Amino acid sequence: MSNGNGTNGKFASDHIYLVAYLRLRGHRIISTERTGRFTVFSFKRTPELDTDVADFYAGGMVPARDYVMEVLRVKKFIPRAGELEQGQWRTHEMAC
């Protein structure tokens, strides 16, 4: 799954660079879910979010330093090898 056409008012993606971009554009992650080996991040679907998704794919710009730091923050919500088997990871909501 790369990007989801939101059902029930949600937009979902497992594309961490898109997720980081959307967070920098002011969109809040409302939940995460593990599907197979992917972590899917969900956002509330709005016209602004749809515009920002299109901007991302059209080469939209955000400050590079902020973008790198946000990618690292998003990566913290992706379980590492072995964490799933040990039960150390669970679906949760991101604070921001």
pLDDT digits (tens, 9 = 90+) for 4-55: 555 679 999 999 999 999 999 999 999 998 888 889 999 999 999 999 999 9
94, 29 contact by CB (below 8 A) = yes
Quote the DSSP letter at residue 11.
E
Q: Which of 34, 55, 52, 40 is nearest to 7 (CA)?
A: 40
Quote the DSSP letter at residue 29.
E
Q: Mean pLDDT across the chain, nearest whole number?
A: 82
The percent of residues in the chain predicted with pLDDT above 90, rounded, is: 61
Phi, psi of 13 (to 5 degrees): -150, 150
57, 2 contact by CB (below 8 A) = no
